[in-house]
Structure 1
Amino acid sequence: MRLATWNVNSIRARVARTVEFAVREHIDVLAMQEIKCKPEQFPYGPFEDAGYHVVAHGLSQWNGVAIASREPIDDVELSFPGMPGFAKGHEGPDAPLEARAIGATIGGVRVWSLYVPNGRSLDDPHYVYKLDWLSALAEHTRSELAANPDLALALVGDFNIAPTDADNGDPTVIEGASTHVSAPERAAFADLEAAGLADVVRPLVPTGFTYWDYKQLRFPRNEGMRIDFVLGSHALADAVTGAAIHRDERKGEIPSDHVPVVVDLDLAGSDDDDVPMIFG
């Protein structure tokens, strides 16, 4: 299985480019974020013409997540248990849920396409929401893997966190003053790993950014950030045979500000001694 994640930054604006990439790179499962449309507005036709099934979750012109797959898509969920909601001026457990998570089982792999809240600023309620959202995700992950330790689980998407200093090349993003690089956010990312997950791309692609702001020539200057990840359980990590960050997708006409991250999985041969060691 070739699994990819891509924050497409509006699927209706970039459907031709997205489908072309999926076909050219022989992507079996594509998790998308920031589709920016409701399910009834999603451009299913080009995906279906290319041989993909699609499930989408969106509530407005903001946020939104989707999964396209060449294989059947089963057990779809539009939020994970305990996921908090958010609305400006609305605090408490009954805040409305945003379209930030969609999970499905495909070819024996449990895939979650995730668009983690941005946080906005360190003193914004959205930052507290982000940390609560990540905490709930970690708790759900612990519960899932405790119940099924052999589950091939993939949490993929735009995490809006640069876990290490090397993952931040944007001079305007400063630790202590900006989101994405704060100690609590990085601790939340580490807590996801402690819940039983590993960044399955970094051992194979140790450097490289996945996002560059449109402003201030960030891409030509390579002032980007690594904030898009494939986090996998032991069972998934054991099946990884390759990985890539497709930097060139930031070039050309109307690119997204993110690029695809791709992993190759050999689920039948996950016991092969020659596969990379992801977990230490």
Structure 2
Amino acid sequence: MKLATFNINGIKARIEALPAWLAAAQPDVVCLQEIKSVDEGFPREIFEAMGYRVETHGQKSFNGVAILSKLPLEDVTRGLPGDETDEQARWIEATVLGRRAIRVCGLYLPNGNPVPGPKYDYKLAWMSRMEARAKVLLAQEEPTVFCGDYNVIPQDADAAKPELWTTDALALPQSRAAYRRLLALGLTDAFRARDASPGQYTFWDYQAGAWERNNGIRIDHLLLSPQAADLLRDCQIDKQVRAGDKPSDHVPIWINLDA
């Protein structure tokens, strides 16, 4: 099973680039972030024609997540538990029915800037809710993947210029500590399990020639439960997508699971 995560930064803006990547990469399952569309506005027909089932959790103009799957999906749920007042569309779950059933959680973690302020408070509270949800799912001892845009730079090695991020919500000690608490639950960072080298990024800003200078950061992650980690065969970043026509500022990252 080839499972990918991709922050597309607007489905309308990526209406040609996303299908082109899907056709080339042929993932079985894709979790999308920042679709920036309400559910009824998502162009599902394009992806259904490519053989994908489409499940969305949309929001007008902002946020929004989706799952595209060539395999059957069941038990689709939307929204991160723990705060009934939270109206931001940042979490979607489903069980993918391959040879092995895999629980997939697609997430778009809050950015948190500016710091300090309510947006950073929301980020940390959201991460605490995610930790609580992860504990529930891990207790079920089934293969589970938490994938998406985490808006966290785990270590200095995950940024081309870490000194530029020291006061940013993506790299503050509290953000990194919250991310480490997820790992401490027993989750595996799929990419680092396969590649420990520096200079591996998933995001390059549109400004200041970041792509051309390879001034990137690694903030898109796939964290695996122990049962999913046992199935891991590969993990790669499709960096070349950033050089395409009208690209997102993120690129896809994917895993192959023996599932």
Q: Say yes or no: TM over 0.5.
A: yes
- SS of residue paired to 1:201: helix
DSSP 3-state at the match of 2:32:
strand
Matches within 5 A, 1:137-152: 137-146=130-139, 148-149=140-141, 151-152=142-143
Q: What is the CA-CA distance between 1:172 and the residue it aligns to?
A: 7.0
Shift, 1:170, TM fit: 4.2
Q: Which residue of 2 aligns with 1:278?
A: none
TM-score by length of 2: 0.95
CA offsets 1:102-130 (integer angstroms, 9 cap, x no match): 11110211101100000012212110110
Length, aligned pairs only: 254
Gaps of 5+ in 2: none
Give the alignment of 1:1-280 within 5 angstroms: 1-82=1-82, 84=83, 95-107=85-97, 108-146=101-139, 148-149=140-141, 151-170=142-161, 173-175=164-166, 177-206=167-196, 207=198, 208-267=200-259
The higher-RCO structure (CA 8 Å, 6+ apart) is: 2
- Aligned residue in 2 for 1:271: none
SS of residue matched to 1:31 = strand
C-alpha offsets along residues 192-219 of structure 1, whole Å, 9 cap, x if unaligned? 1112211011121324000011010011
Tell me if the contact between 2:150 and 2:221 (Cα under 8 Å) persists in the aligned partners.
yes
- What's the CA shift string for 1:53-87, capped at 9, x where partnerless? 000111211000000000111111111321x4xxx
Q: Give distance in 1, aligned partners of 2:162 and 2:179.
A: 22
Indicate the structure with greater strand content. 2
TM-score if structure 1 supplies the norm length? 0.88
Runs of 4+ in 1 over 2 A off after TM superposition: 94-97, 170-174
Q: Does the aligned pair in 2 maintain the 1:117–1:160 contact within 8 Å?
A: yes
Q: Is the 8 A contact 1:171 1:223 kept in 2?
A: no
Alpha-carbon separation, structure 1, partners of 2:162 and 2:80: 35
Q: What percent identity do the matched residue pairs reach?
A: 39
* Preserved CA contact (<8 Å) 2:149 2:219: yes
Q: 3-state DSSP class of the match of 1:173? A: helix
